Amino acid sequence: MSAGKLWGVGIGPGDPELVTVKAARVIGEADVVAFHSARHGKSISRGVAAPYMREGQIEEHLVYPVTTETVDHPGGYQGAMDEFYEAAAERLAVHLAAGRTVALLAAGDPLFYSSYMHMHKRLADRFDAEVIPGVTSVSAASAALGKPLVEGEEILTILPGTLPQAELTRRLKETDAAAILKLGRTFPPVLQSLEDSGRLDEAHYVERASTTRQRVETAAEVDPDGVPYFSIAIVPSPSNNPRPATESRGEVVVVGLGPGDTAWTTPEVAHELSLATDLVGYGPYVDRVPTRPGQRRHSSDNRVEAERAAMALDLAKNGARVAVVSSGDPGVFAMAAAVLEVAAEDQWRGVPVRILPGMTAANAVASRVGAPLGHDYAVLSLSDRLKPWDVVARRISAVAAADMAFAVYNPASKSRTWQVQAMKDLVLEHRSPETPVVIGRDVAGAEESVRVVTLGELEPSEIDMRTLLIVGSSMTTVVETGSGRQVFTPRRYPE
């Protein structure tokens, strides 16, 4: 006698009309129809499949020993469930070994948070097994909302509500859209995670999607005491859930994109960019942000920081949610100080301003060669556009005399070609010509190059605006390791 076949049959989210044609056929033809339920004995899956079943079929009712209640099994909840799955698999194996076909029903999709997968892992190596996919609760909830989950380059994250609250909050901050399953008793901490991640206003609640008992509300309005397990929280696509520009109170968020590669843009910054109604910034930095439908982009020249800040604050004053973008970290020779300075003026005092950090160019360049900023260090700009050169010169001399490593931003431009040589001459008054200097250009960009030279070898004509320099201290050391030539400044200093 040939063995029977196991079918993992996805029956969809609850509406019998959402059972696929293939699933309906297999249910009707099977010798055995198997389904799960809690100890109360009422199987939702069996109810959905009932229109497609026929008289004379064998029914295998697999009753969970435990759902949310406590258990006295020596192996705890997991031990009790493992024992149940083993016994249930053997019940089905008897039918399969006797040549009967078995249709094991699975709400939603058999391989998406379903009990079927536990049977599949225990039986598929012994018997022929095939899975019929089904409509998931996530798709049904999205349809109930009438809102797209994701579009374009957006990312959807599926999360179980049983995750630790801090982890759930972190993941909600990092993603564009989310679906949170396994609610019920987990709903209060899920609500708190939505609030802590700043997503509560976007979140919706769908209960028993696609059924006659379907319920749709905003998540914040739901009574946590009445949430069943078969419910889901949805944070839909931000492209289809924008913050309207007519909100009574706008906000300015100054963000750092990092030095170049999108991998160095923090999830927190990416999330804020997805929520912004308006982007404001230097043209090349704004161009680094993916375009989103309905989001307005205001690009300007790099030399109009105050005007750019005023524009952002004015937009926010009129209800917009504005992201002011900077490269690297917005607090390091970037837009954070400019926005806060303008925001202190009387006409914008009521506009909220937040600053979100980013990876700095100095730290990015340092990481490429090791740890040249491993001890005390300073950060200087050679630009004399906003401060006189004599101030810059005094600071260079002070840092060099203090024997600190330092990072040099804005070393040169088309109109500023002499400052690097002037800096070199000032540092040589206090440092050896053998002092290591790191030259990082376009780090994390398409034209990245990083070199290590000595202070004496530093050639000013090779330095441009896209370059960052790190000048070592007297203790900064160049070593050969398994990763090649690396630089570090030790944390110990001789007494």
Nearest to 110 by CA among 84, 130, 80, 91: 130
Given this model, what pLDDT does residue 485 score? 87
Q: Looking at residues 8-32, what average pLDDT do you find?
A: 97
Angle at 360 between CA 356 and CA 362, to 5 degrees: 160
pLDDT tens for 445-473 read 888 999 999 999 999 999 998 899 999 99
Do domains 251-356 and 362-488 share one topology? The answer is no
Most confidently modeled range among 84-98, 172-186, 223-237, 290-304 = 84-98
Contact indicator for 258, 444 with CB cutoff of 8 Å: yes
Query: In the chain, what is the straight-line distance between the N-terminal and C-terminal CA atoms, in Å?
Result: 87
Residue 243 pLDDT exceeds 50:
no
Gyration radius (Cα) of the chain, Å: 31
Domain residue ranges in the chain: 5-134, 138-240, 251-356, 362-488
Given this model, what pLDDT does residue 68 score? 63
pLDDT tens for 438-449 read 999 989 888 899
- Residue with token string 């439908």: 293
Q: Which of 2-16, 221-235, 246-260, 323-337 has the lowest mean pLDDT?
A: 246-260
- Give residue 245's pLDDT band: very low, low, confident or very high (50, 70, 90): very low
pLDDT, the chain, mean = 91
Q: Any idea of the CA torsion for 190, 192, 196, 198, to the nearest 10 degrees?
A: 70
Given this model, what pLDDT does residue 304 score? 85
**pTM above threshold 0.85:** no
Fold topology of 251-356:
Cobalt-precorrin-4 Transmethylase; domain 1 (3.40.1010)
Most confidently modeled range among 4-13, 75-84, 299-308 = 4-13
CATH 2.70.150.10 is held by the domain 138-240 = no
Given this model, what pLDDT does residue 247 score? 45
The percent of residues in the chain predicted with pLDDT above 90, rounded, is 75
Given this model, what pLDDT does residue 386 score? 83
CATH of range 5-134; options 3.40.718.10, 3.40.50.1820, 3.40.1010.10, 3.40.50.720: 3.40.1010.10
Q: How far apart are CA 209 and CA 371, in angstroms?
A: 54
The contacts of residue 135 (CB under 8 Å, 6+ apart) are 10, 12, 13, 18, 20, 108, 109, 210
pLDDT tens for 71-115 read 677 778 788 889 999 999 999 999 999 999 999 999 999 999 999
Q: Looking at residues 161-176, what average pLDDT do you find?
A: 92
* The CATH number of the domain covering residues in 362-488: 3.30.950.10
pLDDT tens for 114-164 read 999 999 999 999 999 999 999 999 999 999 999 899 887 788 999 999 999
